[in-house]
Amino acid sequence: MRISPKAGYLVSSAVCGALVLGAAGPAAYAAVSDAPAHSATASVVPVPGADALAGQTALLGNAAGVLKPVTDLIDAVLKAPDGKLPAADADTLAASVKEALAKVTAAAPAAPAVPAVPAAPAVPAVPAVPGVPALPGAPAAKAAPDPGAALKATAAADLQAKVDVLVKATTSGDPAAVAAAVQATLTATVNVLVSIVLGGGLPAANLPGLPTLPTVPGVPALPSVPGVPALPAVPSL
């Protein structure tokens, strides 16, 4: 059987192509396999000031952590018939508030470190005079109290006291006492939130139109985070 010249040409081209691809295929696969993995060797660039920013985020998280259990308790009381909750339910809700308040006081920022005083040059020892007792050493200097932490601790203790009164009122079933206790608890919760905002550790609010917030005496201003550029000012509405 004869093969036409055209068909022979096509068969020859197909065979040659298969041979070329067969030889180049393994080499090409090896080149791709040997290419360095970019994701595995890429350098990790840390976020500037990540530790300081994480501390501020934790303070806000603690504020949110107080709001949730307090509002859960108040919602349950207001929805209960005559404002009366079973003692077990009231105790469970109050325990969540107590746990959240413990985190607020534990996360209070530490007082700024006092710079060390340079050591004085050594003085030659003076021989002791017989019969003269040695003078007692000077007492160690105490760390300065942190007014911001004290403010948060006071607000947390006040809210805990108001929650205790609310639990007592809701288990007794006195609607008038429940209403007064709920109002006092709401006010004490606001006090905790404001003490967190003004007690140090958070940036000052800068939204145009907001009044200037008061400052707590002795609470240092929050230093800027190194490496974080300042955001442009928001235009006035």
Q: What is the pLDDT of residue 228?
A: 54
Residue 83 pLDDT greater than 70, yes or no: yes
Q: With contact defined as beta carbons under 8 Å apart, do 65 and 103 qualify? A: yes
236/164: higher pLDDT: 164
- In angstroms, rounded to a whole number, what is the distance separating the alpha carbons of residues 160 and 167? 11
Instruction: For residue 111, name the pLDDT band (cuts at 50, 70, 90).
Output: very low
Q: Which amino acid is at 216?
A: V
The residue that leads in pLDDT, 127 or 82, is 82
pLDDT bracket for residue 114 (50, 70, 90): very low
Cα-Cα end-to-end distance for the chain = 92
Q: CA 170 to CA 85: how far, in whole Å?
A: 6
Show the DSSP H helices in the chain as ranges.
5-34, 38-41, 50-79, 87-106, 147-172, 175-198
Domains of the chain plus CATH, in order, are: 50-108+146-202+211-216 (1.20.120.290)
Confidence of residue 216 (pLDDT cuts 50, 70, 90): confident
Rounded Cα gap, residues 162 and 185, in angstroms = 5
pLDDT recorded at residue 126: 55
- Residue 11: alpha-carbon gap to chain centroid: 72
User: Which pLDDT tens digit goes with each residue over 12-62?
Assistant: 554 455 544 455 555 555 555 555 555 555 678 788 888 888 888 988 888
Task: Tell me what pLDDT residue 89 has.
Answer: 96
The residue among 207 and 44 whose pLDDT is bigger is 207
Identity of the amino acid at 39: S
Q: What mean pLDDT comes out for the span 77-82?
A: 95
Distance, CA of 196 to CA of 190 (rounded, Å) = 10
Give the model's pLDDT for residue 56.
Answer: 86
Neighbours of 177 (CB within 10 A): 16
User: Tokens 């909750």 — which residue?
Assistant: 85
Q: How far apart are CA 70 and CA 88, in angstroms?
A: 16
pLDDT grade for 138, boundaries at 50, 70 and 90: low
